Amino acid sequence: MFTNRLYLFFGHIQQQFQPKLLLNNKMTIGSLKQRLKLLSTATESKYRYSFTNGANDKISNEQRDFYEENGYILIKKLLSDNDIERYWQRFQDLATGKVEPNPLLLLQRELATAKQAIHERNLYKVQELYADDVLFEYCRHPLVLDIVEAFTGGPNILAIHSMLINKPPDAGTKSSRHPLHQDLHYFPMRPADRIVGTWTAMEKITKENGCLSAIPGTHKGEHLEHDYPEWEGGVNKLYYGIKDMKNVVGDRIHIEMERGDCLFFHPLLIHGSGMNRTKGFRKAISCHFASSTDCHYIEIKGTIQEKLAQEILDVYHRRARSFMGGDSDNMTYKDLWRNRSRLVRGEDKIGATTS
């Protein structure tokens, strides 16, 4: 009797979602459960880029739908002023030399001013935040990770790359622009759909001081060829852009944000940032995450990523030689990403922190 009602109930749902999976009344409860699992996969199938986390869901269906369609979602005021102030103060302390940085922390100073006094004015980027306990709190932040789970597809999460970007006022050369690109071009992990970027405004960020811009929907397209843009005035080292935009469909939008707002975006979403036309520095903190159980490393040799990968490797070989004093030339691109990745939630099967 009970199972008959279940057949009727599931039969009804099934007709709506999956007419080909027909039920018959010889089924056991076990096979019904199996069917139920298939059904939930069937109803989920309109979602390719995101997952539900049942009662613990931190994003709504509307937000999921938006991400599926556009390749990003903006969560207003995700982080508190206290969080942001803590990261801000830490940045100042590192920039001014008040705190001795861990040598693994990558501090990138403006070449033009690097020989002058140590000051936030010449520190435009800090990378490898795992080497700093305070800044890495951002990549471990439960409010961030709860939402990241909706895109990595579960609670096994690696922080694969992190940075704080202190975009300087443009010196008149337009070199403070960040060309349109896809972040996947930097990563030797796949699948792309189980990787997500986060970018949090540390202050009000507008078109004027160089907010992010993006072309919604481009996460559904391919990984495109990148190179240095042929711009007058030049571009920062390793700031690759998409080589040929002529087949890219869609309009660019500007994403203005308030302090504490956080953008979650797919690694194929085409995005960049404009010039900083103000006299102030524009600060944002960012981390990319990947599923530690569903992602694997790929071989970069022979792919469109090889040129950039070699350039990044050269930087790391030089760094490793200078502060480890040893020969690191055998380090591969995969080793580099394994070294910089950190497990921030759950378990690690990609071997980021072990093998």
List residues binding ligand AKG (CB under 6 A).
Answer: 165, 167, 178, 183, 210, 271-273, 284
C-alpha to C-alpha distance for 148 and 138, rounded to whole angstroms: 13
> Among residues 39 and 235, whose Cβ is nearest to ligand AKG?
235
CB 105 within 8 A of CB 91: no
Beta carbon of residue 77, minimum distance to ligand AKG (angstroms, whole number): 19
Q: Measured from the CB atom, is 277 or 301 closer to ligand AKG?
A: 277
Q: How far is the CB of 260 from ligand AKG (least distance, A)?
A: 16
Name the closest residue to ligand AKG (Cβ).
273
User: In the bound complex, what is the minimum distance in angstroms from residue 32's beta carbon to ligand AKG?
Assistant: 47
The closest alpha carbon to 138, from 349, 288, 354, 350, belongs to 288
Distance CA 202, CA 284 (A): 5
Strand ranges for the chain from DSSP E: 72-75, 106-109, 123-127, 157-167, 178-181, 189-190, 195-201, 212-215, 226-227, 241-242, 253-255, 262-265, 270-273, 282-291, 296-297, 342-345
CB of 205 to ligand AKG, least distance (A): 9
Nearer CB in complex with ligand AKG: 63/162:
162
Residue 147 beta carbon to ligand AKG: minimum distance, rounded to whole angstroms: 19
Question: Between residues 183 and 294, which has the closer beta carbon with respect to ligand AKG?
Answer: 183
What is the smallest separation between the CB atom of 339 and ligand AKG, expressed in angstroms?
20
Residue 284 CB, nearest distance to ligand AKG (Å)? 5
Residues 201, 286: contact at Cβ < 8 Å? no
Closest distance of CB 125 from ligand AKG, Å: 9
Three-state secondary-structure class, residue 74? strand
Residue with Cβ nearer ligand AKG (14 or 260): 260
For ligand AKG, the closer CB: 35 or 261 = 261
Judged by CB, which is closer to ligand AKG: 90, or 271? 271
CB count within 10 Å of CB 119 equals 13
Of 174, 127, 350, 195, give the one whose Cα is nearest residue 275.
174
| DSSP letter string, 234-268 | ---TT--EES--TT--S--EEE-B-TT-EEEE-TT
Q: Which residue has the tokens 């749902």?
A: 13
| Three-state DSSP class for residue 166 | strand
We find the least distance from the C-beta atom of residue 210 to ligand AKG, in angstroms, to be: 6
Q: State whether the Cα torsion 340-205-266-109 is positive or negative.
A: negative
Q: Are 112 and 175 in contact (CB under 8 A)?
A: no
Q: Residue 102 gets which letter from DSSP?
A: P
Q: Judged by CB, which is closer to ligand AKG: 153, or 197?
A: 197
Environment class of residue 48 by beta-carbon count within 10 Å: exposed (0-12), middle (13-18) or buried (19+)? Answer: exposed
In the complex with ligand AKG, which residue's Cβ is closer, 156 or 166?
166
